[in-house]
């Protein structure tokens, strides 16, 4: 069962686990201190429910993972993995959602030729990132959904801009793309915003085709 929370409350799994460990320690913290760590109002009834719901979630996840153990990936799981991964979810988050192990999810991603999304803090890795062979293309069409290695994200082709760049120097066509930083977000000014991002000029060899994954997007 998902734990309901207010914006200021810190009810992540890691933080709840921390509180549970501290409550069970040799010198346990008080329930008031536990509420402070979680940034919730001092309410022992709610604290107990948060912990109970958290434990129920972990038990349910363990049961589902045990049921899935040894079973091959389904077509629905493939669609979910590709969609979530390319929209920014990491391997651990997808594994939790599908009740699979991170190693299982990673193996599926690699087998399907899904471009590797790197941590946003891995500047060197993003700069040196290579497009998987299954994604390599020399030309793209307007409105085509692609992977931007330099942007480390999904992007939409807007138009070719090769003429305004030195084709001979780079040996590659160039495209103006819209790099999607967030697939969907809530703005206090504009309401629900889809495909929030920015414009960028990218060479074709830094863009990965997702045509082989279209049936899963």
Mean pLDDT, the chain, whole residue set: 86
DSSP alpha helix (H) spans, the chain: 13-23, 31-38, 44-68, 75-86, 91-98, 102-111, 123-128, 167-170
Residue found by looking up tokens 């329930």 in the block: 31
Q: pLDDT at position 153, please?
A: 87
pLDDT at 92 over 50: yes
What is the average per-residue pLDDT within 89-94? 86
Token pair for 60: 């349910």
Give 29 or 89, the one with higher predicted confidence.
29
3-state SS assignment for residue 178: strand
3-state SS assignment for residue 111: helix
């Amino acid at each position: 069962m998902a734990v309901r929370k207010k914006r200021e409350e810190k009810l992540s799994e890691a933080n709840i686990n921390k509180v549970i460990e501290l409550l069970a320690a040799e010198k346990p913290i008080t329930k008031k201190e536990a509420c402070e760590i979680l940034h919730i109002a001092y309410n022992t009834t709610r604290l107990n429910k948060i912990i109970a719901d958290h434990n129920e979630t972990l038990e349910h996840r363990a049961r589902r993972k045990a049921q899935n153990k040894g079973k091959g990936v389904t077509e629905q799981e493939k669609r979910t993995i590709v969609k979530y991964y390319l929209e920014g979810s990491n391997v651990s988050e997808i594994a939790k959602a599908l009740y699979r192990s991170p190693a299982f999810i990673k193996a599926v991603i690699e087998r399907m030729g899904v471009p590797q999304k790197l941590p946003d803090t891995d500047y060197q890795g993003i700069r040196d990132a290579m497009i998987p062979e299954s994604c390599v293309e020399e030309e793209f069409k307007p409105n085509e959904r692609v992977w931007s290695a330099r942007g480390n994200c999904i992007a939409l082709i807007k138009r070719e801009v090769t003429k305004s760049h030195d084709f001979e120097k780079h040996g590659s066509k160039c495209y103006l793309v819209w790099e999607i930083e967030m697939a969907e977000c809530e703005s206090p000014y504009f309401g629900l915003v889809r495909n929030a991002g920015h414009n960028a000029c990218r060479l074709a060899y830094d863009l990965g085709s997702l045509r082989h994954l279209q049936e899963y997007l």
